[in-house]
Amino acid sequence: MDKEYLIKKWLSDKLSEEERRAFENLEDYDSHIKILEGAKKFKASEVIEINDLETFYARIHDRNQSKVKNIGWYNPLLKIAATIVVILGIASFFFLSKDTLVNTSIGEKTNIKLPDASEVILNSKSSIRYNEKKWDNKRSVSLDGEALFKVSKGSRFDVVTSFGVVTVLGTQFNVKSRDGYFEVNCLEGLVSLVRNENFTRNIPAGSSFKIVNDNVTFEKNSNSFPSWVSNTSSFKSVPFGEVIKEFKRQYDVTFSIDNINTQRIFTGGFVHNNLQDGLKSITLPLDLNYSIDTSNHITFQKIKE
């Protein structure tokens, strides 16, 4: 059957059952029906007689163009308003969600007062991040490095690290989260470490929990306060390589450690305010010599027997 004939009869709702089946079987039935359904919704005063299909589509096109033109005079205002909304939205999001980031450099330590008067002492080459605007609802800091926390009593307080989340309500504790090294030392109260849904460990006052290269230890800690706060780094049964890493955080130096066993276990410490004294403290217990060039490059050698 003729397409135009079927469309005209469909518009006037006079299709027979056979003609309706033919109309629905038109190849471009779906695209026609969308346009024609819209045409049937025109007001009666706008309905005009259509002599052929081309004229009908031309009319539809003209009406659509007319509608676009009618709103053209306030398009610039819409664009300006939309731009303002976007800018305000971005500015509001940035302002409300902006975190405070504190970094320390080599040999630097800093004290930080959090919004609830909790205190943080940040060790060298470390950083913490927190959100002041959201603090009343969520006391949480992200730590990369080492810090001593004195937390004011209140709601849950989280220290988020790459190894897990340390959670307290109000206490003093030290957290060290470095590459391949993680340690929590609880000074007062009780802290909880959550690594995943299958691992939670409570750490009471006077205890420490340590992971070094996947080796886990949990022990009573005789030290009541972390020594680094008093400018001394101390170690108990850690690989010598960890000592070297910490030394580089406190002094702006580089090392040559060829033929030196960095997995050898070290117990001891070094001061942060005298390079020569610090080097003697970490080399003599291991029977090592050292030399320093003008660029603060340090070379270790084994003491010849």
The pLDDT, as a whole number, for residue 17 is 73
The pLDDT, as a whole number, for residue 20 is 74
Residue of 186 and 67 predicted with greater confidence: 186
The pLDDT, as a whole number, for residue 36 is 54
Report d(CA 274, CA 276) in Å as an integer.
Answer: 6
Question: Do residues 107 and 169 share a domain?
Answer: yes
Question: Do residues 113 and 188 share a domain?
Answer: yes
pLDDT in tens, 95-105: 555 899 999 99
Query: What's the rounded mean pLDDT across residues 225-247?
Result: 94
- The yes-or-no verdict on residue 8 having pLDDT over 90 is no
Domain stops at, among 55, 70, 85: 70
Domain stops at, among 174, 193, 227: 227
Is there a domain that residue 130 lies in?
yes
pLDDT in tens, 124-179: 999 999 999 999 999 999 999 999 999 999 999 999 999 999 999 889 999 999 99
Is there a domain that residue 220 lies in?
yes
Tell me which residue range forms the domain holding 132.
100-227
Query: What's the rounded mean pLDDT across residues 239-248?
Result: 96
Q: How many domains is the chain built from?
A: 3
How many other CB atoms are found less than 10 A from the CB of residue 173?
A: 24
Report d(CA 302, CA 281) in Å as an integer.
Answer: 15
Question: Do residues 126 and 45 share a domain?
Answer: no
β-pairing, 139-150 with 157-160? parallel
The b/e string for 37-61 (b: 16+ C-beta within 10 A; e otherwise) is eebeeeeeeeeeebeeeeebeeebe
Question: Do residues 200 and 172 share a domain?
Answer: yes
What's this model's pTM, rounded to 2 decimal places?
0.67
Residue 209 CB-density burial (10 A; 0-12 exposed, 13-18 middle, 19+ buried)? buried
Question: Do residues 133 and 213 share a domain?
Answer: yes
Is there a domain that residue 79 lies in?
no
CA 201 to chain centre: 24
Domain stops at, among 199, 227, 255: 227
Please report, for the domain that includes residue 217, its CATH number: 2.60.120.1440
